[in-house]
Amino acid sequence: MKLTNTFCILLLFFSAAAQDGPVRQLKEQARESGRFIDELDGKTDGLRRQADADYAYLENLYIHYHTHPELSFYEKETSKRMAEELRKIGFDVTEKVGGNGVVGVLKNGEGPTILVRADMDALPIVEETG
């Protein structure tokens, strides 16, 4: 399901800087500890292809957020853009939660619930990483 793949890609993109991301790290840790999880081999191929296809868009989104920072309690444009992005991939979105907060709910049937929390505010520092 493309919606689920896109959601997973967003999670992976924002949670890992490494090209192969957390799946590779998890497998390496499992191998080092003697526990093998080879059942993941082949099951991530579709996700990797989707990540490759969406990488340029997600990288531009990352750059956008970092070139348009907003301080705490003033994240008006950041929260607006985040709400737009979540709606594009099928989330039910509630805006202005506690001020500028955004809540996105992806209804995917019965089963476990996952919560992802992220800060949107920037610190008043000069970017030196390019």
**pLDDT at residue 85, as a whole number:** 94
Q: What is the mean pLDDT of residues 96-125?
A: 90
Q: Looking at the structure, do residues 43 and 78 belong to the same domain, yes or no?
A: no
The DSSP output letter for 39 is G
**What confidence tens digit (pLDDT) does each residue in 69-96 have?**
999 999 999 999 999 999 999 999 999 9
Which residue range is the domain that position 102 belongs to?
70-130
Q: Looking at the structure, do residues 59 and 80 belong to the same domain, yes or no?
A: no
Q: Looking at the structure, do residues 57 and 95 belong to the same domain, yes or no?
A: no
Q: Looking at the structure, do residues 12 and 30 belong to the same domain, yes or no?
A: yes
Q: Looking at the structure, do residues 58 and 74 belong to the same domain, yes or no?
A: no
- Tell me: pLDDT of 19 over 60: no
At residue 31, the 3 state secondary structure works out as helix
Q: Looking at the structure, do residues 55 and 1 belong to the same domain, yes or no?
A: yes
